[in-house]
Amino acid sequence: MNSTGSNIAADAFRRLHGAAPAGVWSAPGRVNLIGEHTDYNDGFVLPFAIPHRTWVAASPREDGVITLASVQDGQVEVAEPVRLAELEPGTAQGWVAYPAGVAWVLRQQGVGGGADLVVAGDVPRGAGLSSSHSLEVATALALLGLSGADPSKSDIAKWVQQAENDFVGAPTGLLDQTASLCCTDAHVLFLDVRSGRQEQVPFDAGAHGLEVLVIDTRVSHSLVESGYGERRRGCERAADVLGVASLREAAGEEGLPDELRPLARHVITENERVLKTVELLKQERYAEIGPLLSASHASLRDDYRVSCVELDVAAEAAEKAGALGARMIGGGFGGSAIALVPRELRERVETGVAEAFAAQGFGSPRMFAAVPSAGAGRDV
């Protein structure tokens, strides 16, 4: 794990509180290789953790108060303290809502307590790389660690989901928090959301002369304010019309009204693409997953309708410059795309994307190679 980020959080804690923290916990952001908007439909997903993380330095308090501070550009910004007993949805705003929501859920579970928390991180915000879940998971591990509780990762993932859904107000599924908790170095996590079954699938793109290039469009999005919830409700309606528990069980979209057919078609075909991708990776046929990534983007753009012009330009420009496949990732409506790129073509792809953005009058995208990394844990 990156000791620099841990040190930044611990040093800021010392400056603010006059003593070393009891510990530092961290959690990564994630890239979802394929399997978008399938998690809340009981489907299949295939994420991996990225090196970018959120660190939480923490010590316990005995007065039922949570103090929160964040390191921003070397400066420590202190938020208003919150009292555990007074926490309810709507009582915390902005970034504070994410750790406060976790504390609220843990209080309901009878674990956790007051704490001083100092946060540092380098997961790009609003980029579709799950910075909010990285913060929530790191906070959960810190509060649980301070209390001596040791629940299962599946329980922690469900509690973080509850914080996101019921406190923050974003109707997300289980993909992001499970990825942050459970991913491992050099693997993608094949997760069957319905059963909870996990399989670590080796994924060493570099050994095959390939890189997964992240293209952060720098277009901010919010899953609370976007059409994410509308899509999720549409999937629930489609499952109800089809008489199945979720679209995981749907065999097709026949019988659905016109406005629901594309949603079901995306979920059904995306689950199939995940399974095909896993099969190809196990056979070390890495280059052949490219067309599946591109098909996923087309489905998200045309059927699920969660893309945007910046994401479409990123994917198209990357492929035109030599990427084997590209697609948007995350909830959509902005954020990032990924491209599977032969290593020797990375510079050409980056140049092609940058030029395409400039031609459209967009701001410069941020681009970096994503390497499967370790999941969440205690650093110090």
Whether the predicted model's global pTM rises above the 0.85 cut: yes
pLDDT score at 282: 98
| Residue of 39, 42, 176, 216 marked active site | 176
Average the pLDDT over 192-215 and give the result. 97
Q: How far apart are CA 299 and CA 273, in angstroms?
A: 11
Comparison of pLDDT for 223 and 107, the residue scoring more: 107
User: Is the model's pLDDT at 332 over the cut of 90?
Assistant: no
Q: Which of 147, 155, 14, 21 is nearest to 76 (CA)?
A: 14
Strand ranges inside 303-380, DSSP E? 325-328, 336-342, 366-370, 377-378
Residue type, 261: R
pLDDT (tens digit per residue) in 337-347: 999 999 999 99
Asked whether residue 225 carries a pLDDT value surpassing 70, the answer given is no
Measure the CA–CA gap between 118 and 14, rounded to whole angstroms. 10
- The pLDDT, as a whole number, for residue 147 is 96
Distance of CA 245 to the CA centre of its chain: 25
The domains found in the chain, sorted by start residue, are 4-201+374-378 (3.30.230.10), 204-370 (3.30.70.890)
Active site residue 122: no
Length of the chain counted residue by residue = 380
Give 134's pLDDT tier (boundaries 50, 70, 90): very high
